[in-house]
A and B are shown apart, each in its own frame.
Chain A
Amino acid sequence: MKMFKILVCIKQVPMVSELPWDSKTGTLKRELAQGMMDPSSRRALEAGLQIKETRAELGEKTQIIVLSMGPPMAMEILYQAKSLGADKGILLSDRAMAGADTFLTSFILARFIKKEVPDVDLVLCGSQTSDSETGQVGPQLAEELSIPAIGYAADIQLQGQMVRVHRHVDDFFEVLEMDLPGLVTIDQAAYTPRYAAFGGVQDAFETADIIQVDARRLGLDENFNAVKDSPTRIVDVYSPTTRKENRVLKGTAKAVVDQLFEDYGKIISSAMGKDLKGQGEKI
């Protein structure tokens, strides 16, 4: 029977909440941050592991390959993935690839997959990583690989060479079917990740099937420079802030309610970038 191949894209993200950004380049000073496996990537890996376990119960074989791109310190998350049950790990790492935006990242990941794992059946990604939260790499990777994609999956069921995916959309469930090979991104609330057992960690380091791949092996042009070649320009990077304000409205009931609607309307208008004045009367 053919081995079913799942490739899970994982990323190392900084663990600290206060991120050390380089104000000049707008990129993260990764060497200063303690790394961890991105929580969303962990859910994608968990989905892969559960598919592997379900198939194993039926006597069917599955290989899980984890793929990451980043500095050499990102090797740690590949060992972690192996501790959890992945079979093989690849780190795409090269100074020339550092600073790639989501567009180039997808391009490089796709380059590796086409070259080294052309027979992949299912590609899994997190829906968005905790450090940049763009949610772009998964769908762009599917585009680069010319395979279909489904985003924000809450549950995946494998049916032969097809997947059935459940996902939450607003207040209802959507069930989608997709032929394989295909790519699925996993919802941030789905597939609660397991803890690695210490025996698994020991195994991961004893039977290291983890390799590092550089730009040359990927066949990238020797002048390739991710910082220069990335089309995205980061204008500004900031941590989101939330503000809570208590205000007591005084006056008659009518005046207070009118004031409340007017103030609320202003907030909604500014969030939507559209003047809502007069909209209420039309309804």
Chain B
Amino acid sequence: MEFNPCVKHQLIRKIAREFSENEIKPQVAELDRDARFPHDIIEKMKPLNFFGLQAPKHLGGAGLDSISYAIVVEEVSRVSAALGLCVTVHNSVGIYPILKFGTQEQIERFVPAMAAGDSIGAFCLTEANAGSDAGGVETTARKVQDGYVIDGTKIFVTNGGVAGTILVFAVTEDEKKSANVFIVEDDRPGFSVGEIEDLCGMRANPVSSLFFEDCRVPDENLLGKSGQGLKIGLTGLDTGRIGIAAQALGIAQAAFEDSVAYAKERQQFNQPISRFQTIQNYLADMATQIDAARLLVYRAADYKDRNLPFSAQASMAKLYCSDTARKVTDMAVQIHGGYGYSKEYDVERYFRDAKVTQIYEGTSEVQRMVIARNILTQPS
């Protein structure tokens, strides 16, 4: 068992950190304030393979392993959780399901533009009456000659405002009422984008509603086999959870680093507040939880790379990392006192960004369901 990162993973982290610090950090507060998606930064990220982290090299990707992928997401999120979200959703629930379930024709048709970052990916499952309960999906796909007609509204779609390749979860209007996933390009007639949501955190990500009105797609846009929708959705989400866990980890790491620096610098009662045991306890708890969270992420990623079942591991990582992000950002605000509640300091943003990691890509309650189901179905 080896706990030290290998040279490759160290190098991947340094490159991702250097880029994030130099190119993203100078704009990050402004992007959050204005809820603006930074197309200029995206252009710089494209040639470095941020949008094809695990896509095969012959399709224009970097061909990285899952631990490298988690490291990149963590490092981008350490600086901008909103951009980290864009990267992870695009790679994990955008590209991955196409690579895993798509036909050779679909892979060759969609993945190169996505891996190049020219077509951003989105995955839409959530609706007004369906979220944790995927069975409640009301978006329909009606079979017509040579294709399907999709009708419905998806809400809270990450990357929604800029997505070019959208994976849509819909129920086929036949006797079986089977769930399917369709690949919809943003230039299809009948497809439109709603207003960008005014959210508490992740404000630089263009989260929006997507509308499908008599949106016709050819048969070739049905992902996988008919009726495979649920399987595709669940597999995509398992992968996505490793990414969201890494994202939450990045937020926690940033909050921790800022807290250590502030605790050493802030003077009260003629000494730095880091001399007080209460503050030391906060820092010790933060460091311990972050370390444990990181090991869970790497284990889930390692299981995935070794083709072992990783659903429970991904859920544990996602559950623990998002809870850690919440606790650590809360302590970070507390350590910063009144300044932590001000937009002058980044911890205020971390605090807002952390909350949603307990909600999307499966709420913490859903993660516990997945973990418990896994425990109870194991042979005793």
- Interface of A toward B, CB cutoff 8 Å: 36, 75-76, 79-80, 83, 195-199, 201-203, 205
Contact = CB atoms under 8 A, between A and B. Distances in A.
A199 B64 CA distance: 7
B57 interface: yes
B7 A36 contact: no
Interface of B: 7-8, 10-12, 14-15, 18-19, 47-50, 52-53, 57, 61-64, 68, 72
Contacts of B18: 195
Contacts of A76: 7, 10-11
A21 B162 CA distance: 50
B39 to A, nearest CB: 18
A259 B20 CA distance: 50
Contacts of B11: 76, 79-80, 83, 201
Q: Which 7 pairs of residues, A with B, have the shortest CB-CB distance?
A: A198-B62, A199-B62, A198-B49, A197-B48, A199-B49, A205-B8, A197-B49
B168 to A, nearest CB: 29
B62 A201 contact: yes
Contacts of B61: 199
A196 B17 CA distance: 12
Contact of B63 (A79, A196, A202): A202
A197 B62 contact: yes
B14 A36 contact: yes
A196 B62 CA distance: 11
A75 B72 CA distance: 21
A198 B10 contact: no
Given A197-B62, A201-B8, 10 more contacts: A80-B14, A196-B48, A197-B49, A198-B50, A198-B72, A201-B12, A201-B15, A201-B62, A202-B64, A202-B68
Contacts of B57: 199, 202-203
A79 B14 CA distance: 12
Contacts of A197: 47-49, 62
A33 to B, nearest CB: 13
Contacts of B62: 197-199, 201-202
B7 A75 contact: yes
A181 to B, nearest CB: 31
A195 B15 contact: yes
Contacts of A198: 12, 15, 48-50, 53, 62, 64, 68, 72
B63 A199 contact: yes
Contacts of B53: 198
Contact of A195 (B8, B19, B52, B64): B19
11 contacts: A80-B14, A195-B19, A196-B48, A197-B62, A198-B12, A198-B48, A198-B49, A198-B53, A199-B52, A202-B62, A202-B68
A84 to B, nearest CB: 10
A11 to B, nearest CB: 16
Contacts of B68: 198, 202
B41 to A, nearest CB: 12
Contacts of B63: 199, 202
B247 to A, nearest CB: 17
A199 B46 CA distance: 12
B49 A79 contact: no
A36 B52 CA distance: 26
Contacts of B50: 198
A83 B12 CA distance: 10
A186 to B, nearest CB: 19
Contacts of B12: 198, 201
A76 B8 CA distance: 8
Nearest to A36: B14
Nearest to A72: B7
A138 B342 CA distance: 50
A55 B53 CA distance: 30
A55 B7 CA distance: 32
A51 to B, nearest CB: 20
A198 B64 CA distance: 8
B10 A195 contact: no
Nearest to A84: B15
Nearest to B55: A199
A77 to B, nearest CB: 9
Nearest to B57: A199
